[in-house]
Each structure stands twice: as C-alpha cells, then as structure tokens.
Structure 1
Amino acid sequence: MRLSTRAVILLSYLSLASSQNPLIQDFLSPDTWPPGPGQALVPQAPNAQLTSMLSNISSSNIETIINTLVSFGTRSTLSNQTSRTRGIGAALTYLQSQFNQIASTSGGRMNVTVQSFTQPAGGSFPVATKISNVFATLKGTENSNRVYVVSGHYDSRNSDDSDGVNDAPGADDDGSGVAVSLELARVMAQASLTTPPKATIIFACVAGEEQGLIGSNFMAQQLKTAGIDVQGMLDNDIVGSSTADDGTTDPFNIRMFVQGIPPTELGTSQVADRVGIGAENDSPIRQLGRFVAEVANNVQPVWRPDRFGRGGDHQSFLSAGFPAVRFTEPHENFAHQHQDVRVVNGVQFGDLSEFCDFEFNARVAKVNGAALWSLAQAPGTPKNVRSNTNVQTNNSTLTWTVDPNAASYEIVWRASDLPQWTNVVPVGKVGSATIQLSHDNAQMGVRAVGANGYRSPAGFPFSG
C-alpha cells in the first residue's frame, strides 16, 4: 500500500509525541489536505444518451471486423495494393467501404477520406511505397476547428517487418484497434442524428505503423499544417486480448499510457518553466489522461509515454504538439505479436483471431467512447490559464480566456502528490476568479462547463 505524503508526515509526527497533544489533534482535524475551498469532486457520469450509445457497442461486430481483416492473409505495408482478396490494398478497400456505409447513416454529418502519399525508398522500404490512411470525419456543430481523434493501425507484420508476402494476420496488433475506430464511428454516426457532437470527431485507420509510425505522422502533420486544434487523440494498439502468456486473465483492466512533459517542450525554456512550478505532472497530455480516468471505468493510467523501448501512433500526435494517450491490453502475449505463424514444441505462434477476447475489445471501445463523446460534447479545454504571481498572497487568482461555447467555469484542485482532481469550486461564466487557497500548496486547474453539463479537461495555470 502506498502512503500519501500526508500519511508519512502524520506518522513521523506521531512518533515524536502523544496523540493526546492538542497540537497534534489540531493537525489531524482537516478532512482534506491541504484544507481548502469548494466541495468534493464527483466524477462525470454518462447521461442517458451516452449510456445508450455505449450499450450499442457490439462485441459481435468487433469480431467480424477482426476476422475480415485477418482473412486478407497479410496487411504488411509492403504487401499487394491491388488485390481485392489479399494484402493491404484489400484491407483498405474493405475499410473504406465500411466507413462509407456508416457515413450513409449519419444524415450527411460524416464524410470519408482516403489520405495517400508516397514514402520514398530507404530504411524499411526497398522501393517507394504508397501509404494510405482512411478515416471518417463526424462534423461537430460548434463554430470552431476543435477536433478529437481516435485511431488504430490497419497494417500488420510477422517476424520480419520487410516481409510483404507471407502471412501476417494482425488480429490483435492491430485489428483490435481498427475495430474500435470502426465500431465507434458506427454508434456515433447514429447518435448524431438526434444529438450531434459539438466538436468534430475523426475515426482513423492508419498504415505504416510497423515501419516507424509513417501514416500517423503524416496525418498529424497534415492536421498541424492546416491549423486544426486537436485537443485529444486516443490511440488503440493491441487492445484485443485479456490473457497473459502464463494463461491468467485480466478482463477488466485497460492500460492507458500518458506522457508527462510534452516532447515539443524538450530542449526549450518551457521545460524549466514547467519544472519551476512543479507542473511536470500537469501537462495537457496528463490532463487528457485524468479526464479519461474520470469519465471511464477500467482504466489503469501509466505515467510514461509507452512501454519500455516501444511506441505507437499517439507519439506522432505528441510530436506535432497534440495531447495523446495510448490504450493497450494489461498483459501482452509476445508469442502472438510480431511473429510468423507456426507451431514450436506444441506452442502456437502468430497473431491469430483465436487469441482475441472480443468482449474485452468491446470494453476498450466503451472506454474510448465514453471519453471521446464526453470530450466532444463539452466545451474546449480553457486556454491561456494563468496564476497571478505579481502579488504575495495566500490566495490564488486565476485568469483564462472566456470561450463563448462555455456556460460557466470551475476551478479544480488537488494535493500535489495525488493523481486526480479531488475538489471543485464553481465560479460562473467569468474569466478570472480568486479562491482562498495558495497555489504554493496545491495543484489547480480551470475547466469549462457546457449548458448540457459536460465538463472539459482542465487547463493548468502557468505563472503570469
């Protein structure tokens, strides 16, 4: 059991004197540490529409998607691009068709894009190779360029990532993540007929991940160049199995990797600014992770960019300056990823559908769905949040830019050693508020509240 900072202080103090000492009694009295304003934060719960949407996510649909992708034999980036039955070209045709069918149910709110470019020869590419991302865009009602992205990669590999001929089924890596994008597109296209999202949502299936995040990097850079305000990207990669290599199962636990200091700040003065106020754990990336953990169940946040020595498409978005997190199953079975299909000493190797847990995959989709819809229905994350440090005071004055799409604002805070926000102070539709709590003693943030009750991730205040 991990002891909080407060508990450690208490134990040290109590070891020196009797607990009957009135000084100690005073020390023990606050219900929160540090004591401060507001009320206990109650996590956001799904409303009736979101609950109905999540219940509509189908493990049977996910199974069909994965089995269809596996049926193409290989989806290596270097495989056949013209066959309708085998290779990455067949997979692209299938995904585009599925997205088009889904878009036809959206009442015109969704459109489908195939984004292609040529990757020059070199490295993992023996010849210049066409890379194609395919995605569906569900247009929001808000007059802004605010966007959220959910993605999986549809390319696959076996033991040799330059092998474009032999089987590479890619059921879990990453047919499972592709299934999340497709299934969420389906349920949200239908939901948008009655209550469309306020922000735009992109449901993506990218290629070239196994050769170095090629497709997602192109997509992220295109969004950045176009000036799109991507306020959150959810990457799903290897989310299809709940069984570890020792046979144990963990069907209700989903890892979410969340980087701390943004890679765009590394090597700049921003790192010193962030470290100087103890904001290493309060980047926009961490705020996105906190938001997901608040609105969705079954999430195990891991405070690092990814597994040791590994990576995923979320890193392309992080490098472009966008907040992004990566979901993956709790215990990977390495005999079932990046392996030729074969049997060795009675052990089956290869990324086959038989090793997938489609109910678990559906739970991952529900976590993504709860987070994605809550993000898109809330106002955007407050911008230009500052804490006034010009006057020495034990109060804190925070300022931010007022968003016309926000109905009101809340200041949230927590003790600096806690992972999640614990307290909330409603302050109304204002661009400045003062609370009776020192910014030296706690971490604070400002979040926007919509007229529909949805709340945004928090914006963290820098000195100003």
Structure 2
Amino acid sequence: MLKTPFKITTKLLSVSTLTAACFVGLTSQALAAGEIKYTDQQKLHAIAGDISAQRIGGDIQTLVDFGTRHTLSDTKSETRGIGAARRWIKQEFEKISAQCGGCLEIIEVKDTISGEKRIPDATEVVNIVAIQRGISEPNRMVIMSGDIDSRVSDVMDFTSDSPGANDNASGVAGVIEAARVLSKHKFNGSVVYAALSGEEQGLFGGKILTAYAQKHDWQVHAVLNNDMIGNITGVNGVTDNTTARIFSEGTRVIETKEQARTRRFTGGEVDSASRNLARYIDTIADRYIANLNTMLVYRLDRFGRGGHHRPFNDAGFAAVRIMETNEHYDRQHQDLRIENGIEYGDTIKGVDFDYAAKLTALNAVSLASMAWAPAPPKDVKIAGAVTANTRLSWQASKDNNITGYRIYWRYTSEPQWQFSKTVGKVTQAILNNVVIDNYYFGVAAINKEGIESPVVFPGDVGSFDHNIKIVK
C-alpha cells in the first residue's frame, strides 16, 4: 500500500540534479519524468529457475527415512538417528563440492552440551556447515540455515519414530538444494550453508555456530533461517501456496542505554538491520519469485515461540526466519497416531515440494544478490533537524565494484521503501526540501551490474556491523 509518488527537486553533492523515484509500483507518469528503474538481473532469474522441487522432495524423503533425528538419538547407526543424518548431509555437501572443483569448505562446528533441562547428559551437538568462499571478500558472510533435528510430543523421547518431514527436513533440504545451485556461480562475498542441530532442545546449534562466527571474526551480514518451508494447508483450514512469512526483530537486544536514548529521539524501532534484511528479501520475492508474496512480520518469531535465528540476533547479527504462512499444529511435535479420525504427526504427506522449492528459490536468489552486491554501507549518518533539507553521509568504501549509492526514504508509517535517489560514488548527499521529520531514510551500495546491498538505516540501530559503537 504505497502512497502516490510525488515530484521533488533534489540537489546532491558532486552529482547532477535528479527527480525522485518510487521504489515500488512506478506509474507511467513517473517513468516519463525520468525516474530510476531497477536493473533486472537475468542471472538471478536463472538461479530461481534452477531450483528443483524433485531434488528437494528426494532429500526430504531421505531425511525422513532416518526414522528419528532427535538430538539425543543414535549416532552410531548408519541408517537411523541423527548421526546417520549428519553424515549423509556432509556427504551431499562433499558431492556438491566435487562438482564445483572443491569450492566448498565443509566443516563440523560442534560442542558438547550437558546439564541442560533438555540435554541433561553430555551430548555432542554437531552442525554440518559448508562455506563457499567469496572471491574478493571471503570473510563477508551470508548464511542460510535449517535444523536437522526432529521431535515428537515428548521432547525427551529420542527413540520413537519422528519423521520431521516439514519440521525441519524441508529447511535442511532447501539448504542442500541452494548449495547445489549457487555452487555453480562465483560471488564476491561468501555464502554459508548450515545444517544446525539441537534446535528442539534449546537452539544449541545456532548458539554454537554464532560463537564460531564471532571467534573467527566473520562479517555476518545476513542469516536466513528456514524452519518449516513445505506446508501449505494450515490447521485453520486455509490452503495457500502463494505466501510466506519473514519474521524480523526490531531493536537489537544488545542495544545500550546510550543507543536507546538516541533511538528515542531519532527513530529506528522498525529499521534494525534484521528489518531491512527482511525488506530486501521481500523485494527479491516481488522481482524474481513468481506467484509469491511475502508477509513482513515485525516480531522475532511466532508469538511466544523461537527459532534458530535467535542466537544470531542475540549476538547483534542481522537474522530472520523464513517460513510458511499457515501452520498445521497437528503435524508439529506430535506422536504418530490417529485420534478421533484425526491423523497426527509430521509425515511427508504434509509437505508440498513445489512450495518448498519456491521458498528455497527465494533464499537462493536473496543470498546470491547479497553475495554479488557490495557490503552494506558503514557508518551511515543523518542530519537535518530544523532545516528544509536532509543530509546523509557514509564511510568511503575500498570496493572497486561500487559505482554509486542509492538513498531511500519512506513515510514513517509505511512498511516498505517508497522513494529513492541514485547518487554517484560519493560519501554524502543532500536531499533539498525533503524534511527529515516526515520520513525514514537509508542508504544502499550499488555495484557495476546494478545489484544493490540491503538498505542501511542511519546510526547504530540500522548498522549491519554487529560490532556497533556506543553512541556518545
């Protein structure tokens, strides 16, 4: 629901005067006025088209066939339990890497957990992670994750059959399929494919990978956590294969009192890095994924619940959850049974492979776009109180692929960016007669092909750098 774009004159430092551009839904009148259009990327369309529902379905079936993937289940068997599932996932990554000339660095990121309510005895929690290193910025990371483990009604029952077809073989299958497709390409930044363990027992796999990322100083600019991406029929009776939800947290949990005070007077409650990551993915869906609308949900996760993106949010990283719109609770965390004619349990019958492929394509294109794009601008600042003009500035980048920057703004009540202005390879710009009080603003970097980074809201609240400075 975007408001009608209006004409506005803008003077920019070191660049020629341009007219304002609406981000979405450009009118013919606006186009005639010379408004800036997004550069369509055929290679992103190709990535979306390369995702295979058949391969995803086969991978889900393989994961289901391990019987149970409970975190506390058998690790020795070759055919049953989480150990067998982990080894199979690792073998799939190895096959993919062999086909791309060893382009994947495959590692086990693990730790031994004990003394926890849901892991009372010493248990090794093992994540299988494949890293596709970027050409020019190997330490700049975008991550796609899914959860290996499954459960039934009793969270401590590690022996009963727990197929976990949708929750979350669908997410892991999506991660593997994204690796198959994206490994055919080379990116500037790195793409990480993560199959995480221990989610049902307390988000331990995410905590372990987050600690690993911090220890190795990964510049994590996006975590796309996929948890249940295959169900299209909800317990509410709605069947819908055309929508998906993107959950994103607002202000960072690590925000200091000083930062909170600044935010109170400058805004940004709905413009964290995670929120602008969600907006970026939403835009990708509009441009590249046919017949898919994404719902921006301004909440960490579903009401009172959690997922494996949370540990990354806890560390200050930009992280979101991507999932189906209509959940079917009879198929989640349930013993396999039939009661009063109702079938319970997370079996493969409840998974729509085409829908899982659609959401996997959304992930793959988003990851590729961000990995090809420049890093999000750093140290974005804004000024303009008690003036008619808004001034934005940002840190100069050493990235030679950057050809310019694009300033975005929107009414404060709007969920998505409405207006934009492209500027050259400068570090500041002035929007004349665009009053700072009436809008929210942000800046994105653009490369030579016209691929953009996510938009960065000014100040610490919007920074994609998790090591944000305390505002004095």
TM-score by length of 2: 0.88
Instruction: Check if 1:283 corresponds to 2:265.
Output: no
Aligned match of 1:260 = 250
User: Are the aligned partners of 1:198 and 1:377 in contact in 2 as well (CA < 8 Å)?
Assistant: yes
Q: How many residues align?
A: 432
Q: State how far apart, in whole Å, the 2-side matches of 1:457 and 1:134 are.
A: 27
After superposition, residues 322-341 of structure 1 pair within 5 angstroms as: 322-341=317-336
Instruction: Check if 1:106 corresponds to 2:100.
Output: yes
What SS does the corresponding residue of 2:357 show, helix, strand or coil?
helix
Out of 154, 164, 168, the residue aligned to residue 170 of structure 1 is 164
What SS does the corresponding residue of 1:407 show, helix, strand or coil?
strand
Q: Deviations over 1:306-350 (max 9, x none)?
A: 111111011111011100110111111111010011111121111
What SS does the corresponding residue of 2:415 show, helix, strand or coil?
coil
After superposition, residues 57-72 of structure 1 pair within 5 angstroms as: 57-72=51-66
Structure-2 change in CA distance of 1:88 and 1:46 (3 Å): farther
Aligned match of 1:399 = 393
After superposition, residues 308-327 of structure 1 pair within 5 angstroms as: 308-327=303-322
Out of 408, 416, 420, the residue aligned to residue 412 of structure 1 is 408
Q: Which entry has the higher C-alpha Rg, 1 or 2?
A: 1
Instruction: Check if 1:39 corresponds to 2:21.
Output: yes
After superposition, residues 419-434 of structure 1 pair within 5 angstroms as: 419-434=415-430
Q: State how far apart, in whole Å, the 1-side matches of 2:166 and 2:392 are.
A: 45
Q: State how far apart, in whole Å, the 1-side matches of 2:216 and 2:267 are.
A: 33
Instruction: Check if 1:119 corresponds to 2:108.
Output: no
User: Are the aligned partners of 2:93 and 2:104 in contact in 1 as well (CA < 8 Å)?
Assistant: no
Q: State how far apart, in whole Å, the 1-side matches of 2:223 and 2:243 are.
A: 20
Counterpart of 2:201, as a letter, is: Q
Query: Shift of the alpha carbon at 1:248?
Result: 2.9
Q: State how far apart, in whole Å, the 2-side matches of 1:206 and 1:143 are.
A: 24
Structure-2 change in CA distance of 1:301 and 1:199 (3 Å): same
Q: State how far apart, in whole Å, the 2-side matches of 1:353 and 1:88 are.
A: 18
Query: Shift of the alpha carbon at 1:47?
Result: 1.7
What SS does the corresponding residue of 2:200 show, helix, strand or coil?
helix
Counterpart of 2:252, as a letter, is: P
User: Are the aligned partners of 2:444 and 2:454 in contact in 1 as well (CA < 8 Å)?
Assistant: yes
Q: Deviations over 1:361-381 (max 9, x none)?
A: 011101111211111110011
Counterpart of 1:449, as a letter, is: I
After superposition, residues 338-353 of structure 1 pair within 5 angstroms as: 338-353=333-348
User: Are the aligned partners of 2:109 and 2:208 in contact in 1 as well (CA < 8 Å)?
Assistant: no
Aligned match of 2:454 = 457
Query: Shift of the alpha carbon at 1:44?
Result: 4.8
Counterpart of 1:281, as a letter, is: V
Query: Shift of the alpha carbon at 1:35?
Result: 8.9
What SS does the corresponding residue of 1:65 show, helix, strand or coil?
helix
Q: State how far apart, in whole Å, the 1-side matches of 2:437 and 2:7 are.
A: 13
User: Are the aligned partners of 2:138 and 2:188 in contact in 1 as well (CA < 8 Å)?
Assistant: no
Query: Shift of the alpha carbon at 1:428?
Result: 0.3
Q: Deviations over 1:374-425 (max 9, x none)?
A: 1111001101000135x74211111101222222111111111111111111
> Mean alpha-carbon deviation: is it higher for 404-413 or for 93-102?
404-413
Instruction: Check if 1:77 corresponds to 2:71.
Output: yes
Counterpart of 1:59, as a letter, is: A
Q: State how far apart, in whole Å, the 1-side matches of 2:7 and 2:267 are.
A: 18
Aligned match of 1:355 = 350
Aligned match of 2:440 = 443
Higher relative contact order (CA 8 A, sep 6+): 2
User: Are the aligned partners of 2:96 and 2:183 in contact in 1 as well (CA < 8 Å)?
Assistant: yes
Query: Shift of the alpha carbon at 1:61?
Result: 0.6
Q: What's the RMSD between the two structures over aligned residues?
A: 2.0
What SS does the corresponding residue of 1:285 show, helix, strand or coil?
helix
Structure-2 change in CA distance of 1:35 and 1:235 (3 Å): farther
Q: Deviations over 1:165-206 (max 9, x none)?
A: 11111100000110110000000112x2xxx11110001100
Query: Shift of the alpha carbon at 1:274?
Result: 1.5
Instruction: Check if 1:225 corresponds to 2:208.
Output: no
Query: Shift of the alpha carbon at 1:96?
Result: 0.4
Counterpart of 1:264, as a letter, is: I
Q: State how far apart, in whole Å, the 2-side matches of 1:88 and 1:340 are.
A: 18
> Mean alpha-carbon deviation: is it higher for 70-79 or for 255-264?
255-264
Structure-2 change in CA distance of 1:314 and 1:281 (3 Å): same
User: Are the aligned partners of 1:80 and 1:86 in contact in 2 as well (CA < 8 Å)?
Assistant: yes
Aligned match of 2:282 = 293
Out of 55, 60, 64, the residue aligned to residue 49 of structure 2 is 55
Q: State how far apart, in whole Å, the 1-side matches of 2:8 and 2:424 are.
A: 24
Q: Deviations over 1:147-166 (max 9, x none)?
A: 00000000000011111111
TM-score by length of 1: 0.89
User: Are the aligned partners of 1:119 and 1:129 in contact in 2 as well (CA < 8 Å)?
Assistant: yes
User: Are the aligned partners of 2:38 and 2:450 in contact in 1 as well (CA < 8 Å)?
Assistant: no
Query: Shift of the alpha carbon at 1:233?
Result: 0.5
Aligned match of 2:28 = none
Q: State how far apart, in whole Å, the 2-side matches of 1:78 and 1:302 are.
A: 33
User: Are the aligned partners of 2:137 and 2:190 in contact in 1 as well (CA < 8 Å)?
Assistant: no
Structure-2 change in CA distance of 1:317 and 1:394 (3 Å): same
Q: State how far apart, in whole Å, the 1-side matches of 2:336 and 2:40 are.
A: 42
> Mean alpha-carbon deviation: is it higher for 325-334 or for 273-282?
273-282
Aligned match of 2:365 = 370
Query: Shift of the alpha carbon at 1:41?
Result: 2.3
Structure-2 change in CA distance of 1:255 and 1:33 (3 Å): farther
Q: State how far apart, in whole Å, the 2-side matches of 1:230 and 1:387 are.
A: 24
Counterpart of 2:278, as a letter, is: G
User: Are the aligned partners of 1:33 and 1:415 in contact in 2 as well (CA < 8 Å)?
Assistant: no
Q: State how far apart, in whole Å, the 2-side matches of 1:392 and 1:330 are.
A: 44
Query: Shift of the alpha carbon at 1:144?
Result: 5.2
Q: State how far apart, in whole Å, the 2-side matches of 1:132 and 1:369 are.
A: 24
Out of 238, 246, 266, the residue aligned to residue 248 of structure 1 is 238
Out of 275, 298, 303, the residue aligned to residue 298 of structure 2 is 303
User: Are the aligned partners of 2:404 and 2:425 in contact in 1 as well (CA < 8 Å)?
Assistant: yes
